Amino acid sequence: MKTLMITAVLATAAMTSMAHADDRHDRRCGNVQIDRWMSEAQIRDRATSLGREVREVDIDDGCYEIEGRNKDGRRIEVRFNPETGEQVSIDGDD
């Protein structure tokens, strides 16, 4: 009985972990055709308008990813949809 309970708990934990991993895929920007992408200058302007200091612009998982600093000077990585300029995610120093 104890083994069955432990197995059930582990299975639930594994499913929860997989669900969170799938959430990371929601942060991707999809497969926008390159001719529909905003220019790098436009994405820099978009990030700057949101109070971000842009230090570098990369492409990651079909998104523009900017590395820079927020208004408080903390390091951040922000992903933007390359077609709409919508902010998709933000990670940074706590």
**87-92, strands of its sheet edge to edge:** 53-60, 63-69, 75-80, 87-92
Question: How many structural domains does the chain have?
Answer: 1
For residue 89, give both structure tokens: 């995610």
pLDDT digits (tens, 9 = 90+) for 23-60: 444 457 888 899 999 999 999 999 999 999 999 999 99
- pTM: predicted TM-score of the whole model, two decimal places: 0.68
The predicted structure's pLDDT at residue 74 = 94
| Rounded to 5°, angle at Cα 23 from 22 and 27 | 115
The answer for residues whose C-beta is within 8 angstroms of residue 83's C-beta and 6 or more apart is 29, 32, 36, 37, 38
Q: Name the residue range of residue 13's domain.
A: 2-92
Residue 35 burial (CB count, 10 A): 5
